[in-house]
Structure 1
Amino acid sequence: MKNKFWFILFLTTYASLMAQSVATSPYSIYGLGSLYETDFGSLPSIGSSGIALPSDSFINNKNPASLGLIGKNSFFFDIGMKGIQTNYVSQSDSEKRNNFQFSHIAIAFPITSKSGIGVSLKPYSSATYLISNYQIPIANSNEYYTLDAKSNGGLNNFDLSYGYKIHENFTLGLSSSLFFGTINDIRDFTVAQSITTIDKKNFYKGVRFTLGNQIKIDSTFRLGITLKSPAHISASKTQSVTTSNQTETQYVEDAVTDDATDYYLPFEFGVGFSKRFNKKFNLTFDYEKSLWNGTNQTNFYGEFKNQDKFALGLSYVKKEKSIYYSDKIHYFAGANYDNGFLSINNNNIINKSFSLGVGIPIDYTHSLLNITYSYGQKGTTNNSLIKENYHTIGINLSLEAIWFVKRKFE
């Protein structure tokens, strides 16, 4: 009955997740919006590191090869939500906003004793923002024009992943990611006494593949590698354009359907390790590189740069199998540094954060209620930009059911 309940919850939550506003950030105006980091299980608490971690106790979305290590009778269900408080700071002003949303929903289960499959739905990007009276310099001039903009929507990511254990110490995995979504965007450009309004709805879709592997060096040390293919995100739009001044309004376009500027995701690779100490501590470290320069795409407001990400995590549990409940509680800490993939006014939009978390056991399986707190900073106040100071509380329910085990007693 419990398993049926989880499956129904997966389906009913689908519609709710699709409708959520993921984030509110002025940097969502660039490209497809702010890229949204979504990780499962305890990964948010360890700095979003985990390329080398197996999926023997939770769904590891960092590396599809981890699915080859799911227990033969295990069924995993994972769902999460976040509450975010952000303080936006400029050189002259500041503003606080709060946001709350679902972050992901996923299931994973074994197919054979050496392979497993996973399905997940999560947001990939958010273009939800509101900008008022933002002054942008006119090239080769001392003059400015004013931008007022509002937008909502973004891209969703539906993943189908498969992992296979080729050898006791070597697993491979493949993930296919379907990107789809809509961004509604209205922008007013004011120059002198003239206002140009662009009202458009963009539709996006595309596919990407991820190849991963994990190597078990010994009982305490693992390595992981991921390779993500470049992807072409095709776009179309419906757009209306008007210009107005103090005396008249002209309709330049009225609900015209046309192709839009396509978007390109870069080739990415990642490496990571996991090291266990004293059967209580586990250290994880990841490095990921995204070759945005190779996409050869431009942005009206900024320049794409190659991106480097560093993630470090530490977990502790006194004794997972103990008669004392307090011994089985998991504790986590992590840090993350991202030098950004956009340069605006010669400033990279850097994102850095640290996190703390606790995993509360639910039953005699690997089920945990993960609670994460993180604090981070994104952007800068230099050159009329905006700095975001954010606090995040994440709640993640990672459930394991044991299926198809014959009862010993009737």
Structure 2
Amino acid sequence: MKKNSSFLVLVFLAFFISNAQSISTSPYSLYGLGSLYESNFGLIPAIGNSGIGLPSGSFINNKNAASLVNIPMNNFFFEFGGTAIQTSFQNNSKTENRNNFQFSHLAFAFPITTKSAFSLALMPYSSSSFIISDVKISIIDGSNEYYNLDVIGSGGLNNLDLSYAYKVTNKLSFGMSASVLFGSTKDDRTYTINNTVTLLDKKTSYNGIRPILSSQFKIDPDFTFGLNVKTPTKINAAKVQYVAIANSTGSSVLESDKKTAADDFYLPLEIGVGINKVFKNKLSVTFDYEKRFWDATNQSDLYGDFTNQQKFALGFSYQKAKESRNYFDRIRFATGLNYDSGYLQINNRKIDDKSFSIGLSLPFDRNSSALFVSYSYGEKGKITNSLIKEDYHKLTLSLNLDGIWFVKRKID
């Protein structure tokens, strides 16, 4: 039985790695490392992606590593999840719909001692997936001369997260994480000027390690404060590209799989704070605020600029009675709101993202095994002459399996 379980985990892991980089499709993934994807576990997607101050002992809270110390001793959490996304893209002239489904995360966590815990998780970090066709761009501003551009992008980065938590006192705990980022993006472009076609196929590989520090402090048994600090990090880049040109007289290859210098990408300092308040042991309220200091990275994109980003998240969850014999009393219901100011500024307009979510957790047993289901609706960007509005519906499923380890049998 253990061999079969181990094999099943390996199958999930292999399938996840082979597909994790295409979690979403968006024209805004043209920029930087692609669209940054927020993969959250358990009930967190249902409570507006809040949870920095949530001292969870029933699922893996990847918003704050310090919360791992709340996992009961001898318990082993194994969680995996998937996301289905239906997106509608609109501009001034047309509307297009796209559907996508993808595994979103694979993780496990367990206590090491009564004061420490560890977790390992694999999830997508960014996605670069877009198609841009027949865009006319002026060679010189104000002139009638232009070229046509066609672009196809794919790939993205994965995040292998290793976290350790330690309980200093019954009220204070600290967490340390290392996010190992790795992956590649492909950018295939066709430039057409009169009867001349230039092909540029580029593959850029990235890798880097980002340290994260976190803490949680219980002001009282029902009120917890959380803090996250993600350090500024350089993501190393290397690219290989192929360049060819063709016209009425023939064709020629200018570069063939040539390794060239690539600009490294810089992730900014990120600071997040959160609170969690429980009322009458039934209603839980969470609120997060995060700021990402992109201005300090002094970097920009060919088509836009990176600017400071703010995120607000508010969540509510309700469970009538955790220990009740009535199954419906043990179901936890949740809802939340999220606003992200965005980090991209295109033509002096920021690409913001706002969403609403609902969900629930369906327990399997008296431990913490449960199925988490959440639905969110959101809007990203605006309809202008140069921008696109995205309306998306997202369904997230996460399964948390709770096993009991190293407990002696009471009856042989």
Under TM normalisation by the shorter chain, which class is it?
over 0.9
Name the structure 2 match of 1:166. Answer: 168
Deviation at 1:142, TM superposition (A): 4.7
Inter-CA distance 396–136: structure 2 relative to 1 (3 Å threshold)? farther
Contact preservation (8 Å) 1:345, 1:383: no
Match of 1:154 among 150, 153, 156: 156
Deviation at 1:100, TM superposition (A): 0.5
**Rounded Cα–Cα distance in structure 1 between residues aligned with 2:243 and 2:340:** 37
Inter-CA distance 6–40: structure 2 relative to 1 (3 Å threshold)? farther
Name the structure 2 match of 1:245. Answer: 247
Inter-CA distance 371–4: structure 2 relative to 1 (3 Å threshold)? farther
**Rounded Cα–Cα distance in structure 2 between residues aligned with 1:373 and 1:297:** 35
| One-letter identity of the residue aligned with 2:130 | Y
Match of 2:339 among 324, 337, 345: 337
| One-letter identity of the residue aligned with 1:396 | S
Deviation at 1:251, TM superposition (A): 2.1
Name the structure 2 match of 1:262. Answer: 264
Q: Where does structure 1 lack aligned partners over 5 or more consecutive residues?
A: none
Corresponding residue SS for 2:300: coil
| One-letter identity of the residue aligned with 1:175 | S
**Rounded Cα–Cα distance in structure 2 between residues aligned with 1:345 and 1:248:** 39
Q: Where does structure 2 lack aligned partners over 5 or more consecutive residues?
A: none
**Rounded Cα–Cα distance in structure 2 between residues aligned with 1:301 and 1:243:** 24
Name the structure 2 match of 1:11. Answer: 10
**Rounded Cα–Cα distance in structure 2 between residues aligned with 1:80 and 1:4:** 22
Residue 362 of structure 2 corresponds to residue 360 of structure 1: yes
Inter-CA distance 6–51: structure 2 relative to 1 (3 Å threshold)? farther
Contact preservation (8 Å) 1:48, 1:311: yes
Corresponding residue SS for 1:124: strand
Q: Deviations over 1:113-158 (max 9, x none)?
A: 0000000000000012111123445563255543211121110000
The ranges of structure 1 where at least 4 consecutive aligned residues each deviate by more than 6 angstroms after the TM superposition are none
| One-letter identity of the residue aligned with 2:82 | M
Aligned ranges 1:296-311 → 2 under 5 Å? 296-311=298-313
Deviation at 1:24, TM superposition (A): 1.1
**Rounded Cα–Cα distance in structure 1 between residues aligned with 2:369 and 2:138:** 54
Corresponding residue SS for 1:37: coil
Corresponding residue SS for 1:271: strand
| One-letter identity of the residue aligned with 1:122 | M
Deviation at 1:253, TM superposition (A): 1.2
Name the structure 2 match of 1:388. Answer: 390
Name the structure 1 match of 2:111. Answer: 110
**Rounded Cα–Cα distance in structure 2 between residues aligned with 1:215 and 1:120:** 24
Q: Deviations over 1:55-106 (max 9, x none)?
A: 3111010111111222111111110001111111011011111101000000
After superposing the two structures, state which structure 1 stretch, 13-22 or 220-229, moved more. Answer: 13-22
**Rounded Cα–Cα distance in structure 2 between residues aligned with 1:280 and 1:156:** 36
**Rounded Cα–Cα distance in structure 2 between residues aligned with 1:341 and 1:136:** 24
Contact preservation (8 Å) 1:232, 1:264: yes
**Rounded Cα–Cα distance in structure 1 between residues aligned with 2:133 and 2:164:** 46
**Rounded Cα–Cα distance in structure 2 between residues aligned with 1:87 and 1:12:** 33
**Rounded Cα–Cα distance in structure 1 between residues aligned with 2:137 and 2:361:** 46
**Rounded Cα–Cα distance in structure 2 between residues aligned with 1:5 and 1:356:** 35
- The alignment covers a number of residue pairs equal to 409
**Rounded Cα–Cα distance in structure 2 between residues aligned with 1:307 and 1:258:** 31
**Rounded Cα–Cα distance in structure 1 between residues aligned with 2:151 and 2:297:** 26
Inter-CA distance 246–272: structure 2 relative to 1 (3 Å threshold)? same
Name the structure 1 match of 2:296. Answer: 294
**Rounded Cα–Cα distance in structure 2 between residues aligned with 1:316 and 1:139:** 59
**Rounded Cα–Cα distance in structure 2 between residues aligned with 1:137 and 1:76:** 56
Residue 132 of structure 2 corresponds to residue 131 of structure 1: yes
Name the structure 2 match of 1:327. Answer: 329
Deviation at 1:248, TM superposition (A): 3.2
Aligned ranges 1:85-234 → 2 under 5 Å? 85-138=86-139, 140-143=141-144, 144-234=146-236
| One-letter identity of the residue aligned with 1:18 | I
Deviation at 1:51, TM superposition (A): 0.3
Inter-CA distance 54–7: structure 2 relative to 1 (3 Å threshold)? farther
Name the structure 2 match of 1:408. Answer: 410
Deviation at 1:252, TM superposition (A): 1.9
Deviation at 1:219, TM superposition (A): 1.2
Name the structure 1 match of 2:46. Answer: 45
**Rounded Cα–Cα distance in structure 1 between residues aligned with 2:3 and 2:306:** 46
Contact preservation (8 Å) 1:69, 1:115: no
Inter-CA distance 227–138: structure 2 relative to 1 (3 Å threshold)? farther
| One-letter identity of the residue aligned with 2:119 | G
Name the structure 2 match of 1:82. Answer: 83
**Rounded Cα–Cα distance in structure 2 between residues aligned with 1:253 and 1:308:** 42
Corresponding residue SS for 1:31: coil
**Rounded Cα–Cα distance in structure 1 between residues aligned with 2:179 and 2:131:** 29
Contact preservation (8 Å) 1:240, 1:254: yes
Deviation at 1:373, TM superposition (A): 0.7
Deviation at 1:402, TM superposition (A): 1.7
Corresponding residue SS for 1:261: coil
Q: RMSD value over aligned CA atoms? A: 1.5
Deviation at 1:401, TM superposition (A): 1.4
Deviation at 1:269, TM superposition (A): 0.5
Deviation at 1:314, TM superposition (A): 0.4
Corresponding residue SS for 1:53: coil
| One-letter identity of the residue aligned with 1:398 | N
Inter-CA distance 245–282: structure 2 relative to 1 (3 Å threshold)? same
Corresponding residue SS for 2:301: coil
Deviation at 1:399, TM superposition (A): 1.8
Inter-CA distance 89–362: structure 2 relative to 1 (3 Å threshold)? same
Deviation at 1:237, TM superposition (A): 1.2
After superposing the two structures, state which structure 1 stretch, 357-366 or 164-173, moved more. Answer: 357-366
